[in-house]
């Protein structure tokens, strides 16, 4: 896998979360993006490093969502 591929996959994951309008689990993202687990994990890591996603733990599930900055 090339670094550029991880960046492209990160964009796919970000757009999937953004246009979904709500948070998603890892398995939901696997289904929506059709990436394999390694590619999805790499993309999530890329987004996490860039502070583009937030993580939530609720009812035994881990959720991800697009990080939205609020300016006042």
DSSP string, 2-31: -HHHHHHHHHHHHHHHHHH-S-EEHHHHHH
CATH says 3-66 is which class? mainly alpha
Domain residue spans of the chain = 3-66
In 3-state terms, what secondary structure has residue 69? coil
- What are 41's two structure tokens? 């994990």
Instruction: Give the length of the chain.
Output: 72
Q: What is the pLDDT of residues 40-68, one digit of tens each?
A: 999 999 999 999 999 999 989 999 999 87
pTM given for the model: 0.88
Q: What are the backbone dihedrals phi and psi of residue 51, each rounded to the nearest 5 degrees, phi first?
A: 55, 40
Q: What are the backbone dihedrals phi and psi of residue 22, each rounded to the nearest 5 degrees, phi first?
A: -155, 170
């Amino acid at each position: 896998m090339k670094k550029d591929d991880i960046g492209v996959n990160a964009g796919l994951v970000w757009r999937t979360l953004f246009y979904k309008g709500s948070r998603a689990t890892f398995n939901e993202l696997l289904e929506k993006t059709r990436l394999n687990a390694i590619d999805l994990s790499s993309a999530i890591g890329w987004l996490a490093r860039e502070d583009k996603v937030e993580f939530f733990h609720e009812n035994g599930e881990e959720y991800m969502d697009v990080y939205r900055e609020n300016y006042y």
